[in-house]
Amino acid sequence: MKRSYFTVTYLPINCDYSLLAGRCIGILHGYLSRFELDSIGVSFPNWNDETVGNQIAFVSESQSHLQALRQQNYFQMMSHDDLFKLSEIRAVPGFDDEVQFVRNQSISKAFAGERRRRLARAKRRAEARGEEYNPSYEFVPKEIEHFHSIPVTSNSNKNEFVLHVQLSEKPTVLSCQFNKYGFATNEHYLGTVPSLSGLLIS
């Protein structure tokens, strides 16, 4: 599997890395959706327990797709204004560790606001069926492994939502299929990316 990548480095000091990552992912989402692609993945070379890090990388087997993504107006404008530094498109090193960045939608269900929305929806559905609403289960919180939350704005309706992303360091298979945000998922999309950590990239 021959893959290439380019990185975006956020240059402002003390900026919100998750916010900027979300803006970049929003551009990727628009590009992937427009051309019905699922072949570009996201990697975070400087991911750690505190932040997603000051870089995001885009990885694909197709250099032409990466080149088209790199040329998107947002990236070029931010680079021109010295807010982003874009690397050239480079070959993925053969020795690099393979990881998965997984969008885990089940995490949102653990938050109180989401639970209230789900209960309210269940009540409306029961009433629409003419049934008495009587929730018969008690929520039992489960332990959630480390994740970062990345805010994204929908291109279609401009609504804001959050992607909860987790790092899996030992994927069982290598794959280049990602969802429209460049991530693996718990079921359908098993895309893996090079970690790119420890490399001198800019």
What residue segments make up the domains of the chain, in order of their start?
Answer: 4-104+147-194, 108-145
On the question of pLDDT at 135 being above 70, the answer is no
Q: What is the pLDDT of residues 165-194, one digit of tens each?
A: 999 987 777 889 999 999 999 888 999 999
Give the pair of three-digit tokens for residue 142. Answer: 């489960």
Instruction: Kindly report the CATH number that applies to the domain delimited by 4-104+147-194.
Output: 3.30.70.2540
From the number of C-beta atoms within 10 Å of its C-beta (0-12, 13-18, 19+), residue 194 rates as: buried
CB 48 within 8 A of CB 83: no
Q: Are strands 98-103 and 184-185 parallel, antiparallel or unpaired?
A: parallel
The least confident of 33-37, 40-44, 144-148, 160-164 is 144-148
Alpha-helical (H) ranges within 35-181 are 63-70, 73-80, 112-128
| pLDDT for 85 | 97
pLDDT in tens, 39-87: 999 999 999 999 999 999 999 999 999 999 999 999 999 999 999 999 9
Identify which has the larger pLDDT, 74 or 94: 74
Q: Which residues pair with 162 in a beta bridge?
A: 151
Q: What does pLDDT average to over the chain?
A: 86
